[in-house]
Amino acid sequence: MNQVLQNLQPRLADIFTHLHGHPEISWQEKKTTQYIANLLKEARMEPQLFEDMTGLYVDIGEGIPRVGFRTDIDALWQEVDGKFQANHSCGHDGHMTMAIGTALLLKDMEHLLPGAVRILFQPAEEKAQGARAFVEKGLIDNLEYLFGVHVRPLKELQDGTYAPALYHGAAKLFTGTILGEEAHGARPELGINVIEVGAAIVEGLQKIWTDPNVSASIKMTQFNAGGTSTNIIPGKATFSIDARAQTNEVMQALTEGLERVRVSVEAMYGAKISLQVDAHIVAALVNDEALQHMNSAIVDVVGEKACASPVITPGGEDFHFYTYERPTLKATMLGLGCGVTPGLHHPKMTFNRERLFTGVNIITRAILRAL
């Protein structure tokens, strides 16, 4: 296998260069999807595309696939050198390269595989929507294991070290409105001052208690009320709330706490408070068997010394929706220490591309161990 991977390296380097130079934003990854499909077809594989959306998957080996690997394929939209454009500053170009390398490597040894493998090329990770769409298409229904990968910044993993799991946190963004009652400043008793209602919500958030062993926070991040007249008691406000928790249980506790705050403040002030969830990224659910397979694969490839501890990070990943929606799925994400600088999502983000080949090696071995 090592010799085959060695021979693949110049081709994977070209593939990375192509993908890096052709970024496409979430749900618009049409050329990326077609590029990958063509490449897999040329290697005698049968990629499956969708009529209603971007992304694809391919199965390698005989029978129903029990082990999967997922990559994200979209880019960010950001300002680069003063110009707004799609940009692969989150490393999805590298993730795709590793997924393609893994597919090519597995295809090469297809006759030796004890079972089938599914490689998932998932769109719209940056919008936290693609994983949900793949779950709805039933693409993970028969999988026992699912692996993923993410390049890591220097401060989380040294270049050339690898972690068998990434513990991302959960994030939930709410927006809301408060309807009170306008009144003249001299007649406060005739109004319902939405700023006082908002202040009571802020105070209420500080009374939601959760497990102190799990890091969490819930904060109001926007509040707007009142027009140009300072002598009118405002009757309408909009606000947003940002909630974070290192586990999904604590995020659920924050969500239930927020609802208690909403009901109690409504009752106190006679105002109408509406809330909606604008975004929800679940926390990592890492399976110990999957983690052990990944750990062994890392040790196989780079030795004990380069195998790091699992990484705990407050960032989010929509990979974890797979396990959130299918709790029996055994999953983990490889943390690839490749010296990302200046940081993820920085327009000039760059990293040590040599690590992609090591990544393909580790991922393929983890899959083989799980098969």
Annotated binding residues for Mn(2+): 90, 92, 126, 150, 345
| Amino acid letter, residue 242 | D
Q: Which of 124, 120, 98 is nearest to 301 (CA)?
A: 98
- Cβ atoms of 42 and 49 closer than 8 Å: no
17 vs 229 by CB, closer to its own copies: 229
Out of 105, 233, 291, 362, which residue is the one contacting its own copies (CB under 8 A)?
A: 233
Site for its own copies contains 224 (CB under 8 A): yes
Site for its own copies contains 232 (CB under 8 A): yes
- Considering the complex, what minimum distance in angstroms separates the CB of residue 205 from its own copies? 9
Site for its own copies contains 231 (CB under 8 A): yes
Binding mask 157-196 for its own copies (x = CB under 8 A): ------------x-x-x-x---------xxxx----x-xx
Question: Residue 224, Cα to own-chain centre: how many angstroms?
Answer: 30
Residue 37: how many CB atoms within 10 A of its CB? 18
Site for its own copies contains 212 (CB under 8 A): no
- Cβ atoms of 71 and 91 closer than 8 Å: no
- Considering the complex, what minimum distance in angstroms separates the CB of residue 195 from its own copies? 5
| Contact stretch for its own copies (CB under 8 A) within 85-93, 131-139, 214-222, 289-297 | 214-222
Q: According to CB under 8 A, which residues from 267 to 296 bind its own copies? A: 278
DSSP state of 299: H
Rounded to whole angstroms, the Cα distance separating 327 from 321 reads 10
109 vs 232 by CB, closer to its own copies: 232
- Considering the complex, what minimum distance in angstroms separates the CB of residue 212 from its own copies? 15
Q: Which of 273, 178, 275 is nearest to 233 (CA)?
A: 178
Contacts of 95 (CB under 8 A, 6+ apart): 71, 72, 149, 150, 151
| Amino acid letter, residue 314 | P
- Considering the complex, what minimum distance in angstroms separates the CB of residue 29 from its own copies? 24
Site for its own copies contains 314 (CB under 8 A): yes
**Phi and psi, residue 218, nearest 5°:** -145, 120
| β-strand partners of 12 | none
Site for its own copies contains 310 (CB under 8 A): no
100 vs 200 by CB, closer to its own copies: 200
Q: Which of 146, 144, 148 is nearest to 333 (CA)?
A: 148
Site for its own copies contains 150 (CB under 8 A): no
Rounded to whole angstroms, the Cα distance separating 348 from 210 reads 39
Q: Which residues bind its own copies (CB under 8 A)?
A: 169, 171, 173, 175, 185-188, 193, 195-196, 198-200, 202-203, 217, 219-227, 229-234, 237, 240-242, 244, 278, 314-315
